[in-house]
Amino acid sequence: MRTVFVINGPNLNLLGTREPGVYGSLTLADIGRRLKTKAETLGIALEFRQSNHEGDLVDWIQEAGQAGAGVVLNAGAYTHTSIALRDAIAGSGAVTVEVHISNVHAREPFRHRSMIAPVCAGVICGFGAAGYELALDGLAGLAEK
């Protein structure tokens, strides 16, 4: 795995202004810049993308799987509802780490269940934007095995 797709779902384009008490003050662009720097130190090429549309996320997961790339996926609200994303991960063979900025288990009950976690290599939540870097480290470690 020399490439990792970082795929961000709905409303993550609002980071920095959306509920900063929950999601912090960094923008998605800030996270992307930090992650690109981290990826360079690991020798990984990064594809950083965001969409509010489920079909785009499905297409990108399939693209990553076909390319043999890993995936860091913050599916946002689709985490809890999308069988399509679950099937894209399972069907494409993309090694995927689910990431959330907030601790979803300390929030509303509907956020406690992930449709995609069972087909992901791991799940990281509650560490703020640093969770993306932890997920990248995790994928790099899996690639070494």
Residues with a known catalytic role: 23, 100
**Sign, Cα dihedral of 114, 99, 63, 65:** negative
Q: Which residues of 35-71 are buried (b: 16+ CB within 10 A; e: fewer)?
A: beebbeebebebbbebbbebeebbebbbbbbeeebbb
The C-alpha atoms of residue 79 and residue 98 are separated, in whole angstroms, by 9
| Burial environment of residue 108 by CB neighbours within 10 A (0 to 12, 13 to 18, 19 or more) | exposed
